[in-house]
Amino acid sequence: MRSSVPAPPEPPTHGLVSIILPTYNEAENILATVGGVLQAVGDPVEVIVVDDDSPDETWKLVEELGDPRVRVVRRRGVRGLASAVNRGIIEASGELVGWMDVDLSMPAGLLSEMVRHAAEVPVVIGSRYVTGGGDDRPRFRVMTSRWVNGLASLVLGGGVKDYDSGFIVVRREVFDQVTLLPVGYGAYFIDFIYHCRKRGLAVLELPYTLVDRTAGSSKSMPNLWRFLLQGLGYVLTIFQARLRP
């Protein structure tokens, strides 16, 4: 009886992809997010979890995975989403670099399509506001986001529907032309996308539906006062982006 020979593994369809996951107190969501990213992207991939020394030990859960494709950057005495993303970019080795939220509001499964399109378009973002996308969060959050995007389109110009998406895959060389501002919570993304377009880089939006988190606490709306302050930061960033070279 002839023994069967296992088929050789299929060659990778892309170079190394680095996905950055900024975290703070996301112990309830981090393992599901990491697993979703690894499955969606496929090898070769590296997942860089940049954790702001979470009291719930999010960082420890990732370390205990023991997966060589996943590593943790544990920051002490430093907080902030934009600075965490920037640190991840510095640490990343991939030809493609992306980042997303860890609260399971964004579908990791979309990353496979984003990576595929990034072979042709330098900037690919997950978008709630192109045809086929959606936002299933509470009405007040949706209205606020749409207002911010409307203002961004008015001041910065059309061509992008979801200026504050925060869900993205870009080619490594994009960072040779555009600097990511490592300050603030989410407004940095508006500035980054605007300057990508200003440098003539094509931006492709792929639809997805954002859902509200079901576990853990919101970082963007811990209370009304913080939410209003963050909203003011978005408005200031929109106008300052026009002035930054």
| Nearest CA among 229, 162, 234 for reference residue 193 | 162
| Strand, coil or helix: 73 | strand
| Nearest CA among 91, 117, 52 for reference residue 175 | 91
**3 within some domain:** no
**179 within some domain:** yes
Angle between helix axes 81-91 and 187-198 (nearest 10 degrees) is 50
| Nearest CA among 9, 16, 118 for reference residue 68 | 16
**8 within some domain:** no
Report in angstroms the alpha-carbon separations of 84 from 107, 148, 171, 192: 21, 23, 19, 15
Whether 197 and 160 have beta carbons less than 8 Å apart is answered as yes
| Strand, coil or helix: 113 | helix
Q: Token digits for 175?
A: 């960072």
Domain that holds residue 75: 17-243
For residue 72, what is the enclosing H or E element? strand 70-74
CATH code, 187: 3.90.550.10
pLDDT confidence of residue 220: 53
Tens-digit pLDDT string for the chain (245 aa): 444 555 544 556 789 999 999 999 999 999 999 999 999 999 999 999 999 999 999 999 999 999 999 999 999 988 899 999 999 999 999 999 999 999 999 999 999 999 999 999 999 999 999 999 999 998 988 988 899 999 999 999 888 999 999 999 999 999 999 999 998 777 899 999 999 999 999 999 999 999 987 775 665 555 555 666 676 778 888 888 888 87
Mind giving me the DSSP string for 148-178? HHHHHHHHH-SS-S-TT---EEEEGGGGGT-
**4 within some domain:** no
**157 within some domain:** yes
| Nearest CA among 48, 72, 50, 69 for reference residue 60 | 72
Q: Provide the number of structural domains found in the chain.
A: 1
Whether 187 and 237 have beta carbons less than 8 Å apart is answered as yes
pTM of the model: 0.89
Per-residue pLDDT tens digits for 34-51: 999 999 999 999 999 999
